[in-house]
Amino acid sequence: MRRFKIKIRGSKDRPRLAVHRTNNHIYIQAIDDKVQKTIIGYSTLNLEIQKDGPNTDNCEAAYLVGLHFGKKLLENNINSGIFDRRNQRYHGRIKALANGIRKAGVKI
């Protein structure tokens, strides 16, 4: 089976939502690729997430990151984005993060 890597490009109106997952944390950034600048960044290292729950390496924490990140996107008048999960499968924490962003009202 052949796989093709598609170049995902974001703009100011519809930024690229780049996800990075480690064993202990999950990170997400809204990136405008035209000017090569990060608009917003959020992770499980933020204090709001750490005081809501003790674990940062589970689906619940990823969902909370998505929910808070989606609210920050809406505060900056960004209603949609392009979800860039790189080579990671769409399940577990990645899926919970996407569901949290959608629950906040952002279209991805």
Please state the domain extents for the chain.
16-104
Q: State pLDDT tens for residues 81-108.
A: 999 988 899 999 999 999 999 999 999 9
Is the pLDDT at 10 greater than 90? The verdict is: no
Q: What is the pLDDT of residue 106?
A: 96
Q: What is the pLDDT of residue 52?
A: 66
- Would you identify the CATH topology of the domain 16-104? Nucleotidyltransferase; domain 5 (3.30.420)
**Other Cβ atoms closer than 10 A to 60:** 15
Q: State pLDDT tens for residues 32-56.
A: 999 999 999 999 998 777 776 668 8
Type of residue numbered 84? D
